[in-house]
Structure 1
Amino acid sequence: MATPPFFFGVFLVSLVLMSSIPGGAPDLAADGAALLALRAAVGRFVLPWNASDSPCTWQGVACGSSRVTALRLPAVGLIGSIPAGTVGNLSELRVLSLRYNALSGDLPPDLPALSELRNLYLQQNRFSGEIPPALGSLKNLVRLNLAGNQFSDGIPPELNNLTRLRTLYLETNRLAGEIPRFDLSNLAQFNASFNQLNGSIPSALRGFPASAFLATGLCGGPLGPCPGEIAPSPAANSPSSQGPVAQVPVGGNAGGAAGNDEKKLSGGAIAGIVIGSAVFLLIWLILLILLCRRSGKSKTSSLEAVEARGKQSEASAASERDKGLGGAAGGNVQSATPVAAAGAEKLVFFGGRAALFDLEDLLRASAEVLGKGTFGTAYKAVLEMGTTLAVKRLRDVALTEREFREKVEVIGAMDHPTLVPLRAYLYSKDEKLLVYDYMPLGSLSALLHGNRGSGRTPLNLETRIGIVLAAARGIEYIHSAGPWASHGNIKSSNILLTKSYEGRLSDHGLALLAGPISSPTRVSGYRAPEVTDPCRVSQKADVYSFGVLLLELLTGKAPTQALLNDEGVDLPRWVRSIVRDEWAAEVFDPELLRYQNVEEEMVQLLQLAINCAAQSPDMRPSMPEVVVRIEEIRSRRAVHREQQDNADGLEDGDDSSSRRTDSIAES
């Protein structure tokens, strides 16, 4: 009778021992349950995980020692907030990559429990709230990328505990305050640009380039000395500057030696120093006088040239547009000369940036007319130092100086990577100028409708989605300022492009400065039907204009064309008339139809454009909704491309390359 209890006791002990072995089946099952909870929360329709299979066989999941050690789901269309009890329960996780999705809300509170985590990639989502200070407990973390989100508050000083950290990317968020005094000896990559940071760059970070701190209120290091800060002199710490100290002998005769040195300096050496200083001062005064005379002659010459150009007719000034902005800026002496001659008027720069050029430099710049828009004429100005700028000369501005400055300060305060930044402005009685960064590839309108010949390089769908997504994010940012905030003039000629075909929204806020439009009844093709005053445009009217822009991008047809299909019909109505019957291929730009497997995403974008361009404002989505839908479409497009590449046995695309980078980083 004693045998059964004995064997029963052995069984219990064995069960306890088995359950205590790490990496057993129950742990993998728990990992699988956590992943299924994640899918239910943010990826129900995009993650084809089969609960009956091992989690180690699921898309994006990698295992080691029968535990989930890596989760890589970049650009798969995840959307929503990550709840607790999902990724935070993957206790053996070493790599977590959820970049390029539409995840939002706070980071899960149990994320800091991943003590084995090496690489955390969460860039290009919509996470908000503060960066959890508890992330500083992830002592094994090597790479942390939180760029391209909406994190606010400050950078937690607890990140200084991440002694193994080599990469820290925080750019393009809403972080404020000062950068903590980091002392991360292994940090090799850092970026905090496009945030609302201020103060001095910590000494440990001053070795990084200026591009790591762009569009912030920071100073010091690569951005130049802070106010009141003296730039260190290389000679200050040189041995020669400390020579007298090194020559003081050790012992009781030190005072006597110093006295002998003083006696030597009191004689011929002091006389030589005085004579040399006097000669140097005399030379300096002569050079100063010569420079002043030369500057005066140069200024007189410049003013005479401006006045001479101002006396030319407008047609003659247009033909001489490459001779300088002073001539291109209007062609009459009343508009150009008083600005330069008054001397009191000057350019006002934003963001505490140093004035790298002045009004005289701008008037001497070679100028080229870029185009005439609703609010004025734009010029490409190349300064003598080689800097290229875009200058908008406003017209019909009937504001007092105080009103103008207050409103232009609102425009200058708009700081977002998808907006063309306003560098400086000028207000005078006869001239109102806005100075922007120059975008080298011109406008989306020129790229879509110019040079449709055989030598044209077509825009593929991925590039078009990227451009329109950047524009949507810029409009969303403007609308976030309040229900009263709108762009007011959304069109393809106001979407400018960087060298890498990234979209930048321009002319934002100019409706605040403009006076009555000379022909308010003029139909631009982008204007919502309810808009009667072009200076008062609602956010829903912006959405309508964006819908027309999206239709223009998909059809390749300019909405300002006088006739479409031989009828006087605007672009939204023409598209609706075709789609009413069926999803006809003739709606889309022929350049897009040459690509394979793009129909699904094109149809989804077309439906979104039609919704935005609805006749009733109440039927149009908000810009945050539009951004999320475009992000979803782009994510699906990335998945489709990857699947097609894998099916064809081709090299992985961009997303796969990024995953390979994650693998390399992990090792």
Structure 2
Amino acid sequence: MGRTLAAAAAVLVVALLLCYSYEARGEETDDVKESLVEFLATLAGGGDAGQATARALGWDESVDPCPGATGNGNASKWGRQVVCFNNGDRNAGKIKAIDLQSQNLNGTIDASLLCAAPALRMVNLQNNSLTGGLPAGVSACAGLTHFFVDHNRLSGSLPSSLGQSRKLAVLDVSGNSFSGELPDSFRQIPGLVRFVANDNNFQGTIPDFNLPNFLSFNVSSNNLTGPIPKNVGTFGLSSFADNAAGMCGKPLFPECPPPPTPGNDGERKSKKTRKVFMYLGYVLLGCVIAGFVVYKLCSRKRKNKLGKKARGRRVKDTFDSSSDPTTMTTTVSKSVSAYSLPASSERSPTAAARGAPSASLVVLRRSGTGSVTSTAAAAAAKDLRFEDLLKSPAELLGRGRYGSSYKVVVPGGAALAVKRVKDATVTDDEFRRRMERVARARHPAVLPPLAFYCAAQEKLVVYEYQSSGSLHRLLHGSIESSQAPLDWPARLHIATKVAEGMAFMHSAMRGDGASSYASSTSSSVETVATAGEVAIAHGTLKSSNILFTTSMEPCISEYGVIAPPFVAGVSTGGSSRSSGLRADVRAFGVLLLELLTGKATAAQGDGSELARWVTSVIQEEWTAEVFDRALLSRDGAVNEQRMVRLLQVAMRCIDAAPGEAPPTMREVAGMVNAIRDEDDRSLSAEA
């Protein structure tokens, strides 16, 4: 009897396990399949035409969309517009994402049909001709994290019930005709990190979002007014531009006026009178300040004239960057350097007493090929006097973490770029050796220094001015820019050239007495680094330091100007002097992420926030969302595989896998070149 009961219990356990296994597989029910097919038919206009569209895309309620037990992973029998959960996931056998972008759909959105799929995470309906509004029932899609309805013909107001979508992380409603106010309830969505609502007709004020928690935010080109969120984080004017008059709030707009307080007519008149007297006081104070400034300027001009007549007098070199264009003035002394030109017949009395040469401009002699510098710029640098450089009109180009950059037009009309470095961590002698070594290495993708200047508190480096701008401006320029987005071939070309230039410089500057990297383009180095010399890294590789020549070829600027700090946590094989080279490899990885995503890094950051965002998206298996939409819309799936390969290179540069040595710049250049060669072969085959 006991054996019989044991056998029955075993049969029962097996039956329960089989039932559990079938339930765990989670196959979509017939109701879900019918609802989703009807949802697509409604998007396509309904009726027979809508059903025909559903059949044409392979959506059939009689077919299981996610046969998880077949081992096909996230492939769907309903076509590539449907993505299923992987077999190992607890939602295996259910639909994870619906991607119906650019399908010429002209119907409406029925949320009740969509939300019938309980495990659905992402819905993409962008670039269609959908009409009607955004239904409030979307909030019933409890698992929805990504919702794209941008670039359709939707109208009406956004439902405040979306604020109840606790898992919603990305909402893009841009490029429609939505109106009304932005619901304040959106501030209550805990995981919302991307809200894009530009190019609509929204009115009213902007809810006080906590923007430092956002990765993307844009409400430009609407009819919004009033204060912007108190803490705008890294978002600039382009996220709020082209709205109605009256937008306010620092630091992007004027300070908002205080709210009006009730009072009688007498109090209002008294306040108005006090304001009139207050403004008159401001005017008088302004006149006094202006007169004082004029007096000081005149006094300074007289002192400068007297200073020129006094021989042997030392005047500190200054950049007056308070206005644009800027003027730089100085008096310098004679240098005994073999590379410098005489600036004056006098030496500093203090320097003469010490028997030491005073600082002056050092012009670097250049010969041969491989330089991106024009003949005019080289000739101007050869004949350049320090007084001419510092007295020439200077236009401030920008300020950065380590100094400022200026455009200087010297006598003769040549345009030069002057990098002013503050608080340099290297001595004058070390800086001199560094610049001379960098100047001897020549590569077409590296902008060479023409001259430099060393002083106790600051250092200057002179380059040829590149009028075509930087990679940062091309990728993240203002919304008023007419520059077309960079396509995939252009971005891959930039990545290849920068990788080749950095690999060559690392090989020439690594300080082991050898130079082993040879690029596919003309490059040379007169004298390689000798054994025992410290390796020279770029130090500040970023998109604003990638400039373009007149032929739009990329070139690396400011190589070696900043002594990079030791990078904590970076494995360098026991050589601390290689930490700077490893930091360059990581910075190049961040540069690849900017090229692929189209997203800018924080102004004073190292790209960690962008790397974290990319990692989180990849972990959610939404790899396609990483890429810049300008790439996907122009090149589509044709280049997506190579984009993914370049993304893998970028992530390996930033964070090598456990147990895997970080790649060198030479290895990275080889990987990028392999992707470029594959892309070239693909283009040749298409032709």
Alignment TM class, shorter chain as reference:
0.3 to 0.5
Query: TM (normalized to structure 1)?
Result: 0.42
Higher relative contact order (CA 8 A, sep 6+): 1
TM-score w.r.t. length of structure 2: 0.41
**Greater share of helix:** 1
